[in-house]
Amino acid sequence: MNSILTETEKNMGSGRKVVLIMTDTQRKDMLGCYGNKDMKTPNLDKLAEQGVRFEKAYCCQPVCGPARAALFTGIYPHSSGSWGNSMALGDNVKTIGQRFADNGIHCAYIGKWHLDGGDYFGVGRCPEGWDENYWYDMRSYLEELSEKDRVRSRLPKTNEEDLSEDFLYGHRVSDKAIDFIGKNTDEDFLLVVSYDEPHHPYLCPKRFIDMYKGYEFPKSPNIWDRLDDKPEHHKAWSGDACKGDKDSLKLDAYTYFLACNSYVDYEIGRVMEAIEKNAPDALVIYTTDHGDMMNSHSIGGKGAAMYEEITNVPLIVKCPEVASKGSASESLISHIDIVPTMMDFMDVEIPSILEGTTVLEAFEDPDVFINDEIFIEFGRYEVDHDGFGGFQPIRCCRDSRYKLVINLLASDELYDLEEDSYEMKNLINSEEHAKIRDGLHDKLLEWMNRTRDPFRGYYWERRPWRKDAKDASWSYTGMTRQRENEEYEPRQLDYSTGLEITEAQRKK
């Protein structure tokens, strides 16, 4: 572990503060600092000027709950049990709040949680490890409102009023975060500020809506994708949209969405002011859970696809003692790396059960490359609802140039992101790219095995294009991989002997 804290800093507690700020459904090109100068996001742009902007950061699953599961546990959705919305974390899965609290660090989570198995709003109960006085999920907010105001808070048409800031969830989240920062300057802390904005229902004061009246979001080349060489479930998702007249298509239906995007930037600015005043040496990490397709590839929303629009997320990091100011990094970063990185920064031992790695060195030097590849998955969008494609098992491996996507129930994908950044040409059957494709496939299979993916099996290897795939085998690799959660559980026992395991991974 590479801690950057001096002994003096450790004793004083200064430098042992982390603020993780996140939004919901925010594409990279919805921020000015990522190149779209039409976007009015001055506070996030300022944060980028003060820190490091990562160009190749990825969520672990492009759906709200599973994305958060990885971000706050350090293990993949398939490991935590939360691989679809409204699927709770497993009882023996520990969040970063629990791990930090057990190491004497004050932890507060303010905002959308989405990990307790409840519906969109949650159950309103503070999980273990987090400060109950600052717990404020979306159910907490709704319970503050009258029945009439609850309904108003869920309707985009409420924007026809000139909403006061005090009515909005985002504003109340910021107020509580600012209060926490001001009252805890003398102790080590982790603060998570988790906005629901700019997600539907897109509520915000009128002045932000006025910024985008009549504005058309820029069309990218993949708006014209007819999905001819794409997986079958993408075509089902698109419906007739891929047959429409894309030349005359206007992306002007996003006024409220983009307005709310600028509104949440304003709220983030309020929190950043409090950080600069009371905790200027804090490690500040900003990201989002996933993006939105916004008609790219003739589909909308997010879900069972690995396209850049929904998986390649904004990530900006600021720490005066660490990061080179105003720089951009091409280093591959996954949300799975955020928990071990925060533990490294806070000088807390990183447990073996975590499935990512610390990337603190990349925060310090943007030219450092730590990951050769990152992995993304998909299982189900929403367990409580029909629709959204149902069960769509997908696994993805992305290296510095190529992206391989295995759609278990459909056809597969390979993209050269250097030559085809908009993912228009599917190279999965290209003999010219067979060696690259198979190499990524091998890494993907190894990752599934290493992380105890419960959906692993011979069928992921036996794809139509994989000429050297082994025959179907009931025993598959013949390996066993027992969980190592020894900070909280006794060491597991070997089935054959009843004695403590000496190797977690071994032939069985």
Q: Taking a C-beta distance cutoff of 8 angstroms, is the pair 255, 215 a contact?
A: yes
Please, what sign has the CA dihedral across residues 204, 205, 207, 210? positive
Catalytic residue (choose from 78, 106, 114, 199): 114
Please, what sign has the CA dihedral across residues 186, 192, 197, 200? negative
Q: Rounded CA gap, 90 and 462, in Å?
A: 31
DSSP 376: E
Q: Rounded CA gap, 431 and 411, in Å?
A: 16
As a three-state string, the secondary structure of 381-444 is: CECCCCCCCCEEEEEEEEECCEEEEEECCCCCEEEECCCCCCCCCCCCCCHHHHHHHHHHHHHH
Kindly state the helix (H) or strand (E) to which residue 392 belongs, with its residue range: strand 391-399
Please, what sign has the CA dihedral across residues 297, 71, 20, 256? positive
Q: Rounded CA gap, 493 and 501, in Å?
A: 5
β-strands 189-194, 17-23 pairing: parallel
- Structure-token pair, residue 254: 């996003």
As a three-state string, the secondary structure of 308-352 is: HHHHEEEEEEECCCCCCCCEEEEEEEEHHHHHHHHHHHCCCCCCC
Q: Rounded CA gap, 61 and 230, in Å?
A: 20
Nearest alpha carbon to residue 426 among 180, 166, 214, 234: 234
Catalytic residue (choose from 60, 64, 204, 396): 64
Helix or strand or coil: residue 246?
Answer: coil
Nearest alpha carbon to residue 198 among 254, 257, 154: 257
β-strands 327-334, 312-318 pairing: unpaired
| E-assigned strand segments in 211-322 | 283-288, 312-318
Give phi and psi for 307, each to the nearest 5: -65, 150
DSSP 373: E
Please, what sign has the CA dihedral across residues 347, 352, 354, 360? positive
Residues 6+ apart with CB under 8 A from 7: none
- Judge whether 64 counts as a catalytic residue: yes
Q: Rounded CA gap, 84 and 75, in Å?
A: 14
- Structure-token pair, residue 454: 């419960």
- Judge whether 319 counts as a catalytic residue: no
Residues with a catalytic annotation lie at 64, 114
